[in-house]
Amino acid sequence: MSQVHIKDEERIGCDAKIRLEPSVYLKKLYDSGTPDLEWMNQMGEWGVRAKPGNLGLRLKDIEIGSYGVVPEHGGAHRSMAPRGATIVEELPSLGFTINEKAECWAENAAELYEEAVARQWSSARDIPWAELKPLPDDLERAMCQLCTFLTEVEFIAADAPTRWMSKMNQDFFEVKMFLATQAMDEARHMDVFRKRALANGGGLGKASALSELSLKKIFDAPSFSAQTGRLHLLGEGFVLTLFRQGEFIAPSRVDQEIFRRCMQDESRHVGYGTMHLRAQLKANPAVAEEIHDQLDDAERILLETFSVPEAVEPMAILMGGGIKNFDKGMEMQSQLWRRIVHEYLQRCDSAGLDRRPRCILPTDFNKLVEAA
Amino acid sequence: MPSFPEARWFQTLGQLMQTEGELFRRLGYAETRFAVRIIPDNNSNGGDRIVGLTIDGYQLSEVKPIADLNEFDPDFVICGKREIWDRMLQEIAEHGRPELRHTLSSLALVGEELWLESTDQLREDKFYRFNQTLQELLNLASKVPE
């Protein structure tokens, strides 16, 4: 093997402030020529042979033996030592504070992680931007305002949960891996809606103080589960329906492709949130009150958000097919509002949260006038 | 040749799915068991039929007529009148895909012409998680030999 040339090799370390002591082990190795090999006796469960399924070797395929056991309480060492490895003493703690499984776990976390990895897409490659055609001014302005809103709100679902991600015990790595994919998804959503706003003769529209308030409340949630209720159950559930509406109202195949792909991503996030809350509420029913409190406030802000022109009118214009059909667009929006509320409450049911008696979202869109 | 909504017609879609493997691999795998319910319209062109389908990765691994939905236990059922299914298939035959507002997702959103039934919202959400795969599967109808 040829020797690698390292530039200015003689200068390396000439001003170093730390002097390394020679390794006792390496000295012994060089002197005796006999390897230690003690580490070979310090394995986790040995003889494990995970078999790939028809879709390759997935996380569920390596959930075997002791490696498949997710502890109720995360490792007391609070380090990143891999679950199932031999734990040595004096591991420095990383100070994880979410150490109970119920605080972050969802049974579908590994499944959703693998699915997310398999279904990644590229806004540059997979959106047929070249097919974008000029739209009537009112439709382009409405689409750009909608894209502005989505560009503004989407990345909260990366920023907010990843604050907690770094506090999660490493024994729940499947959840961390899923949240990492969610962060990647949200980066792509922010990217694709920004690109869409700038790609067809329009531009970004008006930012929203109410949206920002909503984001701040998500950011400041007092616990991961409380944040999940606010973010995944209501916020992302709402945006999921918005993406579905987006696909429906898309004035072009380009827009339809964008919304459909985002919809697929978003439904994974909602799926994780629903399952996490199901696990958490089953283990700790008292948490329900904390989540209810969050949702009380989040529903109120959502109603307020739907009380300003830049939130209501772009959707009505897009649904109606232009300002000339504004009334028709409002009527359609009214019909779809019921679906938003219906699906949100269904997800609460699925999570094991009896939200119906406390929900302040009216099922009739026209009552928003009174509720706001 | 088999015709919609015979189970064999869906099996042909499954064979085409394998032929068009790269398209589905690009979308990513899907794992869902669902059913398609075709309700006779006013002209009674065909009976009320339910076909159960399972997508396992990149293949349609199971297709069968369903008599008992509970036994099949699908994640969701896509329900629609025969004329709506026929219109979608006609548009797919002509353009390779349905019109913008006639996609599976758009029609299910409005919920009048096509709607979803499910026992659990979490399972129903698989319709959205794998939506593009479902739509591309149906779009293969344009390649079914007549």
Is residue B31 within 8 Å of B56, Cβ to Cβ? yes
The alpha helices in A92-223, defined as continuous H runs, are: 109-118, 137-153, 156-165, 173-198, 209-219
pLDDT of residue B110: 87
pLDDT of residue B7: 94
Residue of chain A with shortest Cα separation from B128: A264
* Mean pLDDT of chain A, nearest integer: 94
CB contact under 8 A, A335 and B132: no
pLDDT of residue B43: 60
* Span A323-346, pLDDT tens digits: 999 999 999 888 888 889 999 999
pLDDT of residue A335: 85
CB contact under 8 A, A54 and B106: no
Q: Is A358 on the interface with B (CB under 8 A)?
A: no
Residue B131 has pLDDT above 80, yes or no: yes
Distance from CA of A354 to the nearest CA of B (A): 14
pLDDT of residue A6: 95
CA A283, chain centre distance (Å): 23
Q: Which of A54, A251, A268 sits opposite B57 (nearest CB)?
A: A54
pLDDT of residue A366: 78
CA distances from A345 to A145, A348, A362 (A): 28, 5, 12
Q: Is the model more confident about A126 or about A246?
A: A126
pLDDT of residue A258: 96
- Residue type at A163 in one-letter notation: R
- Quick one: what percent of chain A has pLDDT higher than 90? 86
Residue A172 has pLDDT above 60, yes or no: yes
Q: Which residues of chain A are within 8 Å of residue B131 when distances are taken between CB atoms?
A: 260, 263-264
Q: Is B18 on the interface with A (CB under 8 A)?
A: no
Q: Which of A118, A245, A346 sits opposite B109 (nearest CB)?
A: A245
Average pLDDT value for residue range B61-86: 95
- Read out DSSP for chain B? ---TTSHHHHHHHHHHHHHTHHHHHHH--EEEEEEEEEE--TT--S--EEEEEEEEETEEEEEEE-S-HHHH--SEEEEEEHHHHHHHHHHHHHHSS--GGGSHHHHHHH-SSEEEE-S-HHHHTHHHHTHHHHHHHHHGGGGS--
In this structure, the dihedral spanned by the alpha carbons of residues B84, B89, B95 and B98, taken in order and rounded to 10 degrees, is 40
- Quick one: what percent of chain A has pLDDT higher than 70? 99
Distance from CA of B1 to the nearest CA of A (A): 31
Distance from CA of B135 to the nearest CA of A (A): 10
Residue B78 has pLDDT above 80, yes or no: yes
Residue A8 has pLDDT above 90, yes or no: yes
Distance from CA of B80 to the nearest CA of A (A): 17
* Span A95-150, pLDDT tens digits: 999 999 999 999 999 999 999 999 999 999 999 999 999 999 999 999 999 999 99
Q: Is A343 on the interface with B (CB under 8 A)?
A: yes
Q: Which residues of chain A are within 8 Å of residue B60 when distances are taken between CB atoms?
A: none
Q: Is A242 on the interface with B (CB under 8 A)?
A: no
Model confidence at A254, in pLDDT bands (50, 70, 90)?
very high
The answer for A174, left when phi > 0, alpha when psi is -120 to 50, beta otherwise, is alpha
Write out the two tokens for B109. 């959103």
Report the range of poorest mean pLDDT among A12-26, A67-81, A91-105.
A12-26
Q: Is B129 on the interface with A (CB under 8 A)?
A: yes
Residue A94 has pLDDT above 90, yes or no: yes
Residue ranges of domains in chain B, CATH in brackets: 7-143 (3.30.1050.10)
Strands B30-39, B76-81: pairing kind: parallel
* Span B98-108, pLDDT tens digits: 998 899 999 99
- Quick one: what percent of chain B has pLDDT higher than 70? 96
pTM score? 0.94
* Span A54-66, pLDDT tens digits: 999 999 999 999 9
Model confidence at A372, in pLDDT bands (50, 70, 90)?
very low
Residue B146 has pLDDT above 80, yes or no: no
CA dist., res. B51 & res. B14, Å (int): 13
Q: Which of B28, B103, B125 sits opposite A118 (nearest CB)?
A: B28
* Mean pLDDT of chain B, nearest integer: 93
pLDDT of residue B45: 58
Q: Is the model more confident about A353 or about B48?
A: A353
Write out the two tokens for A99. 């150490």
Share of chain A residues as helix, strand and coil, in percent rounded to the nearest 5: 60, 0, 35
CA A328, chain centre distance (Å): 35
Residue A371 has pLDDT above 60, yes or no: no
pLDDT of residue A368: 72
Is residue A69 within 8 Å of A42, Cβ to Cβ? no
Is residue B54 within 8 Å of B8, Cβ to Cβ? no
Residue A239 has pLDDT above 90, yes or no: yes
Average pLDDT value for residue range A154-175: 96
Q: Which of A111, A75, A273 is nearest to B31 (CA)?
A: A111
Is residue A301 within 8 Å of A287, Cβ to Cβ? no
